[in-house]
Amino acid sequence: MAQNLRLTPLMRRILVIVASVVGLALLIFGVSAISSAKKPAETTVATTQLSGEARAELLANRALAAASKDDTVTARSLAESALKLNAANQVAVGVIRRLDEEAESAAPTTTPTSSKTTTATSDVWTKATKTPATFLPKKVAGWTAGDVVTLGSEAQVTYQPDEGAKDGSSAIRATFFVHDRGTAAKASAFVSTVDKKVYPGAGTTAKFGTQNGYFGTDGARLAVAAFPRGRYAFEVVVYSQQGIKPATLLTLATKLATAFPAAQ
């Protein structure tokens, strides 16, 4: 009963057209799939190289945020790390001061009993002043002063060695600071905590004029000579020349610190 199926010319023509349409559809689908599979994901790689000062600023801001949340341990650690990168970062210095002041105020105090009456002193270093810049050196032999900067109870001025001056062979500049700490105890604590922590290298006690103080370095380029007198803390930070070890600047730092009126 089976009969051979014979295709007429018209039927064969229709089958060819259908096969062509199906093949074209498959080709378009395949190209589309390959194109989609090979489309790369859009990624952006950003590499940021921060300078030491920029990293110090970032750490200092994190320290400030931690201090505002009363996370004193984290705040102090971040601030000290910032100061290792940039000893002149004022945000980090401010955080350390704030933490030290809060620690001092929280510590129990005792009032010694005495049958003697303490006489008030007229010593200028025990009194607050509206012009702390008057406590900065007026001149330093062989050095030229820049502009004086005053911020509340703080003042500073930067000196540079004169051209051809002997001190210029070992130092680039020196910045003098006056800090009103409010009390003699806080002024002494500033030197014994902030300066000793920021400049621990080659740390030693030293005498600046009539006052006893501290000399130390950051181990890289900076040396400090600092001492308290009354309610004030005095600092001179010396920036060494390239290749000069800051530990060798004790004599120069002593000379500069002696230029403070408070050292007389």
- How does DSSP assign 145-182, residue by residue? EEEEEEETTEEEEEEEEPTT-GGGGTEEEEEEEEEE-S
What is the per-residue pLDDT for 92? 83
pLDDT of residue 122: 46
- Give the three-state DSSP class for 80: helix
The sign of the dihedral angle between the CA atoms of 89, 93, 94, 99 is positive
- The parts of the chain modelled with pLDDT lower than 70 are 1-49, 105-122
49: phi then psi, degrees, rounded to nearest 5? -105, 110
Query: Tell me, what's the pLDDT at 15?
Result: 63
By three-state DSSP, how is residue 259 classified?
coil
Give CA separation, 8 vs 52, 131, 214, in Å.
Answer: 88, 115, 113
Give the pTM: 0.59
Closest by CA position to 223, among listed 152, 185, 167: 167
Q: Which amino acid is at 73?
A: V
Backbone angles phi, psi at 200, to 5 degrees: -80, -20
Predicted confidence at residue 99, as pLDDT, reads: 81
CB 227 within 8 Å of CB 212: yes
Judged on CB neighbours under 10 Å (0-12, 13-18, 19+), 1 is: exposed
- Is 152 in contact with 204 (CB distance < 8 Å)? no
Give every CB contact of residue 209 below 8 A, 6+ residues apart in sequence.
257, 258, 260, 263, 264
CA–CA separation, 210 and 205 (whole Å): 13
What pLDDT does 45 receive?
40
* Tens digits of residue pLDDT in 28-65: 555 455 555 444 444 444 434 678 788 888 888 888 88
Domain made up of 128-263: CATH architecture = 3-Layer(aba) Sandwich (3.40)
